[in-house]
Amino acid sequence: MTMFCYQCQETAKGSGCTNRGACGKRADVANLQDLLIYLSKGISVYSTEARKLGIENQKVNQFIINVLFMTITNANFDSVVFMKKIKEGLSLREEIKKQFLDAGGVMPENLPDCATWEAETKEDFEKKANSPEVGVLATENEDLRSLRELLTYGIKGIAAYTEHSFNLGYKNQDLNSFMQKGLAATTDGTLAVDDLVALVLECGKYGVEAMALLDKANTDTYGHPEITEVNIGTRNNPGILISGHDLKDMEELLEQTEGTGIDVYTHGEMLPANYYPFFKKYKHFVGNYGNAWWKQNEEFEKFNGPILMTTNCIIPPRNSYKERVFTTGSAGYPGMQHVPDRKKGKAKDFSELIEVARQCSPPEEIEKGKIVGGFAHHQVIALADKVIEAVKSGAIKRFFVMAGCDGRMKSRNYYTEFAQKLPKDTIILTAGCAKYRYNKLDLGDIAGIPRVLDAGQCNDSYSLAIIALKLKEAFGLDDINQLPISYNIAWYEQKAVIVLLALLYLGVKNIHLGPTLPAFLSPNVVNFLVEKFNIGGISQVDEDIKMFLG
């Protein structure tokens, strides 16, 4: 065993990657990521104490958000970047420690090693990263380990949403406070299982706040998503393909490519950018190219032009197109060109992508037609009377929330078959790249309402919660679980974890997760979730549909 990671759904043998990540990350990168999280916990020990004295260090806040995001599955594979971040983190840890002491703070007793270890060289970092006190398995008790990791992964999800909000100028200091309190708590050996369970459930509360903040940031800036037909074919101009999740990057790329004769296409989780009114003014923004993240090797090769990866969802590239891929923000991969962060008051500089695009052929067309989306909460609420009437008349018998992530496993064909076999009087509510399993199927409509309602990115799962709460109010129900809504959610990485915890905080029960339950949930933690929230897995499509329909 040269590493250990089990934070994603595709982890080896359903238990943990021990030599190389299923995502493609090398063992040295995995260990440096563990060390960076370890260091972030040490910084959080001091920042949490300093906050009690009124000290709010914005550099620390942004550092924690950034490193949590870049250690999410498929975000950053570059060991050089992690080395730099570890050096930066050690300096920041000393800075916040000094601020705390200068303000009269008294050093806590029994400080954890992550708050005290020191190193200077690359060799020191590598040695520490490989030491037994760093990483998941440092916690020997299986249940404590499970809860600590569940809390950490939930906080990683919050960090991802928070970074997108920050890029649009929206902040919430309470989120920084909780993230750091939660990270510090994972180092506290006095906390028992019940204490960590309470923190995990509290994480769901802040998950809702983080998603609400991002929803406000996106809609204040770009307008509310609206029903939109999205072109999935191509034109004859050179193109730039933008993938990931960051809408600020989308805005700046469109501004800089306007009038250049270069078309811009979305890919993967960037598809919902097509639904925002703000982006529709750009005539060279022409639609979506391709499918979910895991098909990018084939699709990026055929696109011919440059690709911009704004966040996670990178897979190890083929040499045939690697030189055309650019990363930015928290994303990174060795050998790929990286677009630096924007300087205060200025946009990122995408001129290199534009120059590459000028030299490239137009994208090869891989499909034709259109798909429909834009059913975020504002749009669905505008259709509320029509939806409620369809439910009351019996035209709509049940809604199925099939949000979440897609992935490579053949077992995920389950979700395509499930969508195809659902009765014609059901509606699918979706968000995230899980939709690519069924959003191009001809499933028809009910009284003019499409049977697949796409609310947007995984970041937009908040919309599905708002829709459920509005329906609960409209039908005069006391309990959200009395609604004719079933939850059959596909998960892959840590943003899906915080969506789950947010739903639990909102009181949603009977959620089914697939294609497998998370490896980081110990049997006792699974039993707790089953007993308290009736969480379950998936089995066979026909059996599950019968179970959901009762």
Contact present, 407 and 492 (Cβ < 8 Å): yes
Q: Which fold has domain 377-549?
A: Rossmann fold (3.40.50)
Q: Give pLDDT tens digits along the chain (550 positions).
A: 999 999 999 999 999 999 999 999 999 999 999 999 999 999 999 999 999 999 999 999 999 999 999 999 999 999 999 999 999 999 999 999 999 999 999 998 889 999 999 998 999 999 999 999 999 999 999 999 999 999 999 999 999 999 999 999 999 999 999 999 999 999 999 999 999 999 999 999 999 999 999 999 999 999 999 999 999 999 999 999 999 999 999 999 999 999 999 999 999 999 999 999 999 999 999 999 999 999 999 999 999 999 999 999 999 999 999 999 999 999 999 999 999 999 988 999 999 999 999 999 999 999 999 999 999 999 999 999 999 999 999 999 999 999 999 999 999 999 999 999 999 999 999 999 999 999 999 999 999 999 999 999 998 999 999 999 999 999 999 999 999 999 999 999 999 999 999 999 999 999 999 999 999 999 999 999 999 999 999 999 999 999 999 8
Strand partners, 450: 445
Distance CA 375, CA 249 (A): 23
Alpha-carbon dihedral 113, 115, 119, 124, rounded to 10 degrees: 40
- What is residue 227's predicted lDDT score, i.e. its pLDDT? 97
- What is residue 344's predicted lDDT score, i.e. its pLDDT? 87
Give residues with Cβ within 8 angstroms of 426, minimum separation 6.
396, 397, 398, 399, 400, 451
In this structure, CATH architecture of domain 12-220: Up-down Bundle (1.20)
Rg of the chain's alpha carbons, rounded to an integer?
23
Three-class SS string for 320-375?
Answer: HHHCCEEEECCCECCCCEEECCCCCCCCCCCHHHHHHHHCCCCCCCCCCCEEEECC
In this structure, how many other beta carbons lie within 10 angstroms of the beta carbon of residue 177?
Answer: 16
Alpha carbon 462 to chain centroid, angstroms: 12
Q: Copy the structure tokens of residue 180.
A: 């750091």
For 24, 95, 180, the CA distances from 176, given in Å and listed in that order, are 30, 17, 6
Distance CA 282, CA 257 (A): 10
Contact present, 242 and 250 (Cβ < 8 Å): yes
Give residues with Cβ within 8 angstroms of 201, minimum separation 6.
501, 504, 505
**Strands annotated E in 393-517:** 398-401, 426-430, 445-446, 449-450, 452-454, 485-490, 511-514
Domain spans of the chain?
Answer: 12-220, 229-358, 377-549
Distance CA 426, CA 399 (A): 6
Distance CA 394, CA 118 (A): 66
Distance CA 543, CA 357 (A): 50
Largest Cα span, the chain: 70
- What is residue 490's predicted lDDT score, i.e. its pLDDT? 97
Amino acid 151 reads L
- 377-549 and 12-220 share a CATH fold: no
Upper half-sphere CA count for residue 513 (Cβ side, 13 Å): 24
CA triplet 323, 327, 331: central angle to 5 degrees?
135
- What is residue 109's predicted lDDT score, i.e. its pLDDT? 86
Distance CA 229, CA 373 (A): 7
- What is residue 146's predicted lDDT score, i.e. its pLDDT? 98
Amino acid 368 reads K
Distance CA 486, CA 500 (A): 14
> The whole model's pTM is what?
0.96
What size, in residues, is the chain? 550
For 6, 134, 187, 341, the CA distances from 130, given in Å and listed in that order, are 17, 7, 18, 31
**Strands annotated E in 392-467:** 398-401, 426-430, 445-446, 449-450, 452-454
- What is residue 108's predicted lDDT score, i.e. its pLDDT? 87
Long-range CB contacts (within 8 A, 24+) of 467-474: 467/377, 467/380, 467/381, 467/429, 468/401, 468/506, 468/508, 469/506, 470/377, 470/380, 470/381, 470/384, 471/387, 471/388, 474/384, 474/388
CATH among 3.30.56.10, 3.30.70.20, 3.40.50.2030, 3.10.20.30 for 229-358: 3.40.50.2030
Q: Copy the structure tokens of residue 93.
A: 């840890």
